[in-house]
Structure 1
Amino acid sequence: MSPRPKKTKEEVVAPTTETTEATASPIAEKTTKPRAKKTKTETKTETETKHEKATPAEAAHESKHPKTHILQAEINIGMTGHVDHGKTSLTKALTGKWTDTHSEELKRGISIRLGYADALFYEYPGLEGAAKFGSLKEKEGKQGKILRKVSFIDAPGHETLMTTMLSGAALMDGALLVIAANEPCPQPRTAEHLMALKIGNIQNVIVVQNKVDLVTKENALKSYNEIKKFLADYGYTNAPIIPVSANFNANVDALIQTIQEHIPTPKGDVEKPFKMYISRSFDVNKPGTELDKMLGGVLGGSISQGTLVKGQKVEVTPGIEGKPIQIEITSVRNADGELDRANPRGLIAAGTKLDPGITSMDKFKGQILCAPGTLPAPTDKLAIDFFELDRLLGNKLPFPHVHELMVLTVGTNTIVGEVVNVKKSRIDLVLKSKMTIEKGQKIAISRRETAAWRLAGYGIAV
């Protein structure tokens, strides 16, 4: 028997690139096995049969991903609200996944980092009203038909983690604002998160009145009226309010129905140059992995425009020490397996040939992955038109002044800037490190109030 030829490093890396899962997707494994060839007639008949049974979401996906049939999420929905109001519990009720996985999160019982989970929404023929919606394949003996796949972004609600929430808001197309029925409304982070959504121009917001199982009917109605007034004060008068008990999965079907009706799938512009905000980065290699079997760093985030495929040349900006770097994509995956092509929305993991040591522990969070040469050069100087937010809670801050430090959130990047000049609403800043920003881009601005940073307004880059 002749000896088997040795594989190159690229041949070892490409077929086995992983994200955070320890094992490869069974769907991806199946695609590597040889398949028997079908005649043109057989293929046509099978395709026609599939599209007769498929929903529009399934049929559209099959046309884009004919090999793997792995659905990509088509919308990102944020889970926002005050600390301990039940955001992570509600994420689990909708997706089946508990997104607090970091050891410190488990110990403290709060979200510290952005959490991510996907859910398939189904409709069940034969059932009526809210009961015909859900996130399970089967309900009351009825087989569900897929409506769409949704990515949820679970944002932390603690006051010290507001900048983390703001970086997550850059990825959101709509949001659920979770408000506990057993506490007065608004709580500080309830108001601040809604302001953040307003800055991000996120209009499609649904309020989830959680923990209704802990209050009487009278107190639930009192809470409802407080929420209505709060929403009117912030310009979200028409936002639906859905009472639920996340821990008991009560009324979750009504919430899914409301999401389907009030948070439509945005139109993804696949013709524009590729751009993806990086919100996570990883080293997926286990300790002790042999050098020739090590995989490159993985960059996670959401595509805002364009598409991404394996082998594509892209740029990471602002890069390392303010110098963009060009890399090649070795794999494109979501939580279910490898994709032929990634489109806008959903949470994507892009395999690269970067040293995994420099991408570990979210070190590339805040960077942008884009088509080479399509974004402005990184800069450490910024001029903005500043817009102050009206605040219902807390004291009004004086107008920004020279030498004041501000925390700026641009996309998924958070950076400190020092004010060097103020002329009416125009503010010039020098940044602590370089960042990539486009003219006209909105920037969330946090300012120090006593011992904490508070969301105070936003700026428009000029």
Structure 2
Amino acid sequence: IFLVARSFDINRPGTKIENLKGGVLGGVLKKGKLKIGDEIEIKPGLSLKKSNNQSYQTLNTKILSLHKGMKSVKDVEPGVSISIETSLDPFLTKADSLTSCLVSTKNNLPEITYNLKVKYKLFDEVLGTSEHQKIEALKIKEMLMLNVNTTITVGVVEKIDKDKKEIELTLNIPVVALKKDNVGIARNLDRHWRLIGWGEIIQ
């Protein structure tokens, strides 16, 4: 599983077609192994807008080269910042257009989802303020900002189980939800998003 923090087109204007490099993804390998020649999938993928409808298209591509800093490598292990040159048209990766996506070898990622179930834990006090402000309990229909891997999305609380400390949310931006992944939870306080707790994806 590779977390995409950046995506870009490394070609200079005027580069001849035969010399064009494929789209590049930059980020961190979270787990598993990637090597040159691997067939990979990118999710949520390409963001498509039709009228008022937003949809996402999974991208399938191939690893053409791997780089650790300026050094070219044949494969990579977890915990390393790397860049991946793919066979994608560089137009698809320019200007961080694929930032927040997840990458894996084919058929290993779940489908994207607009719903999350999270086991949560709130802090005693709000972080990022000079005052000692106690954190109030979560409420139904409250909007929370969630940080899932490299994706930031806003979710509306639909259900709360206070005994089990579990919440179910509907998201405005879909995520690739991997069980046991950590989630940062923030609340809008005085027009600023403040971290109030964290959670773990259970569904």
Q: TM-score range by the shorter chain?
A: 0.7 to 0.9
RMSD after superposition: 1.7
Confirm or deny: 8 A CA contact 2:125 2:135 kept in the other structure. no
Aligned-residue sequence identity (percent) comes to: 29
Amino acid at match of 1:319: G
Aligned pair partner of 1:419 in 147, 157, 167: 157
Picking from 448, 451, 458, the partner of 2:188 is: 448
> 1:371 aligns to what?
105
Shift of 1:288: 2.1
1:290 aligned to which of 10, 16, 32: 16
Give how far 1:420 is off: 1.9
- Partners of 1:281 and 1:438 in 2: CA distance: 22
- Classify the secondary structure of the residue corresponding to 1:361: helix
The alignment's TM-score, normalised by the length of structure 2, stands at: 0.85
Max radius of gyration: which structure? Answer: 1
What residue number does 2:116 align with?
382
Q: Which amino acid aligns with 1:285?
A: N
Aligned partner of residue 305 in structure 1, secondary structure: coil
User: Structure 1 residue 403: deviation in Å?
Assistant: 2.2
Q: Map 1:6-405 to 2 at 5 A.
A: 275-320=1-46, 321-391=55-125, 393-405=131-143
Deviation, 1:452, is 0.7
Deviations 1:355-380 (A, max 9, x none): 22221222212111112222221100
* TM-score, structure 1 normalization: 0.39
In structure 1, how many angstroms separate the alpha carbons of the residues matched to 2:132 and 2:7?
36
- Call closer, same or farther: CA 1:305–1:423 in 2, change over 3 Å: closer
8 Å contact 1:332–1:339 — kept in the other structure?
Answer: yes
Unaligned runs of 5+ in 1: 1-274
Gaps of 5+ in 2: 47-54
Contact 1:323–1:378, Cα closer than 8 Å, also in 2: no
Structure having greater relative contact order (Cα 8 Å, sep ≥ 6):
2
CA contact under 8 A between 1:332 and 1:350: conserved in structure 2? Answer: yes
The equivalent residue for 2:198 is: 458
Kindly report structure 1 stretches of 4+ aligned residues shifted beyond 6 Å. none
Counterpart among 406, 416, 439 of residue 144 in structure 2 = 406
The alpha carbon displacement at 1:426 in A equals 2.2
3-state secondary structure, aligned to 1:382:
strand
SS at match of 1:326: strand
